Chain A
Amino acid sequence: MKQVWLTDMAVSTSLGDLESTWERLLAGESGIGPVGHFSVDGYVSDRAATIAGLEATGDRSRLDTLLDRLLADLPPLPAKTRLLLATTKGRIDLLERGLRTAGATGNAEVTPLLDDLQRRLGVVGGVNINAACASSTIALARGAGMIAHGAAEAVLVIGVDIVSEFVFSGFSALKGMSPTPCRPFDAERDGLTLGEGGGAVLLMAREAAESGGREPKALLSGWGVASDAHHVTAPARDGCGLVQAVRQALQVAGAEAEAVAGISAHGTGTPFNDAMELTAFRTLFGDRPVPLHGVKGALGHTLGAAGVIEAAMAVRSLASGQLPPTIGLRTPDPLAAGPVSAEPLSLDEGLLLSTNSGFGGINGALLLGKGERC
């Protein structure tokens, strides 16, 4: 198999661009605040991690403004780059507007968004991967597979989703949303907080990257995807799907569980998700204290974008040797075997595991290694 390099990345979150998001995460800041672009009077929370200045004008969605910011930070792409988009609800605000004003769905299909991106980026063969909150993790896994097996030399993965009343009302109705900013892996966590954001990662085959003069920011060494086959909105309590996904990732990487030095977990802050993850990590790593963190207490749950944003942060973690604090944490869940902290944690040499799970019982796992030529 060919070596898969992460050569370029961009991020836009409630804490800013890639550099700003990383620095502010490390400093313990949170992007969660009052929601201002729709009424939250009927819902259990009034908070989300929104991005200032996203506008929806004319027939444009707030998602288009977010994409403008995200793509402005990307370098020119290699020829024949393939596009894997990962959005759960795309331009959902256009559907809201259409249904409010004309009883019609508006231009909310994903295919026009995909076609727009293909034209704009000059890429080939774009598809959108919808696997709920694991969408961009699975897009990264698929892109890595395509490169490793020689089916592509460069794959651009874009994950993007916005905070909309559509989704906000849904998590409120499901009673999955916390009335206060979420507290991943806290013993008293009580639900998620939504966020919006986008991430873009360029994956390249080592040989193609080297001939194009690109440096590896990280290696994507392993990947795995598996379903629980248990329930469509609740995770399997034993974490069977996540365990299977991580074991696949280890197999692809040719690594043992001992090679994992740290975990960037999904960590939504819901009682069931976090318990499932901690149970799965116990199964995988036993009592070994693997440092663990989650970013959603600062960035909110960015749905389809979560995986790629968290992968970008993982790249920075590997480079700096530290995991950002888990914002919102006060008392760690006793199920956590290793350190999880509201302060930054030090990260030893090794692989960083990044995981995400979603509705439909889907789980994705990525193993990232330090960006060194080897």
Chain B
Amino acid sequence: MLKGELLGIGWLTAAGTGRGRDAAEFALVPGELSELRRQLAFTEPDRRFGRLDRFSRLGVLAMALALQDAGLDRWEQKRRVGLFAATRFGSLGTDSDYFATVLPEQGRLASPNLFAYTLANTFLGEAAIRFGLTGPGVAINEGGNAPLESLVAALEGLVWDGLEASVAGFCDLPPRGSNEPPGAAFLVVGPDRPGKNMKEIKVLPDRSVELAGVPVSGWPELVAAAVRLQRT
């Protein structure tokens, strides 16, 4: 059995932005995200932030909020923390934007900056740079019968590979016309502590997940339950 301790939560959805320590409610609903500005999570100037595509901005902002909530956003030495992000659509929107620069002039105007963001894992590299995180950085497309597999991978990293912490969650920007809700939410999970742990996240042998002993079956349910738990 794999176990860890919930340390922090951060999210950015059409319903708003929040951290576990805030009084905000988490909801994943269809609609428009607010403008993905650096100031939503960072107080310091960040020259590279303006170069990021929307998908990366969304993911980096939500991860920053989660790391702040866990008190792990400040650093001097790089840390062995892993990043595990579930995504259905990945960089699909950026892919379209990039290919729109390829179509005219037979590719002579293709944007090298946009191309760098046409991978679902690039934003994890951006987050790793900003927070000095040297663990694995992996984007995971979870199949229909493998929900929360990114959380399972995060706990495997903690328990099997000795990561100091794992950041796990989801990040998605559905294509235009889709009814799927946009948003990102990440949990920071640390190693399990001896004794009774009120914020225990557990993966059972059948790969199902429990938070504080209560089964959860998908990311929105897990994040909502984690927010409630963080306030108790």
Rounded to whole Å, the gap between the CB of B55 and the closest CB of chain A is 12
* Contact between chains at A115 and B144 (CB < 8 Å): yes
Q: Which residues of A contact B143 (CB under 8 A)?
A: 83, 111, 114-115, 118, 125-128
- CB-CB contacts of A330-374 with B at 8 A, as 1s and 0s? 000000000000000000000000000011111000000000000
Q: Assess whether B105 is in contact with A232, with CB atoms less than 8 Å apart.
A: no
User: Contact between B160 and A145 (Cβ–Cβ < 8 Å)?
Assistant: yes
Q: Which one of B33-41, B133-141, B194-202, B211-219 contacts A?
A: B133-141
A-B pair count, CB < 8 Å, reads 186
B106 closest partner in A (C-beta)? A42
B102 in contact with A360 (CB, 8 Å): no
**Contact call A111/B88, Cβ cutoff below 8 A:** yes
A170: nearest chain-B partner, CB-CB: B115
Which of A171, A226, A360 is within 8 Å of B122, CB to CB?
A360
Instruction: Kindly name the residue among A85, A108, A229 whose own CB sees the greatest number of chain B CB atoms within 10 A.
Output: A229
Q: Once bound together, how far apart are the Cα atoms of A146 and B160, in whole Å?
A: 9
CB distance from A148 to the nearest CB of B (A): 8
CB closest residue in chain B, given A125: B146
- Among listed B22-30, B93-101, B184-192, interface-contacting one: B93-101
Residue pair A42, B136 in contact (C-beta under 8 Å):
no
B144 to chain A, nearest CB (A): 6
Instruction: Select which of B112, B133, B145, B146 is within 8 A of A227 by beta carbon.
Output: B133
Task: Give the shortest distance, in Å, between A311 (CB) and chain B (any CB).
Answer: 18
Q: Would you call A232 and B126 a contact (CB within 8 A)?
A: yes
Contact between chains at B137 and A360 (CB < 8 Å): yes
The smallest beta-carbon distance between B101 and chain A, in angstroms, is: 8
Interface-centre pick from B105, B112, B153 (highest chain A CB count, 10 A)? B112
CA A358 – CA B119 in complex, angstroms?
10
Shortest Cβ gap from A100 to chain B (Å) = 7
Shortest CB-to-CB span from B63 to chain A, Å, is 13
Interface members, chain B 83-124 (any A CB < 8 Å): 83, 88-90, 92, 95-96, 98-100, 102-103, 105-108, 110-112, 115-116, 118-122, 124
Sampled A-B contacts (10; CB under 8 Å): A125-B143, A132-B121, A146-B156, A148-B160, A166-B98, A174-B116, A229-B132, A229-B133, A248-B161, A360-B122
B residues engaging A (CB < 8 A)? 78, 80, 83, 88-90, 92, 95-96, 98-100, 102-103, 105-108, 110-112, 115-116, 118-122, 124-126, 128-129, 131-146, 149, 153, 156, 160-161, 175, 205, 207
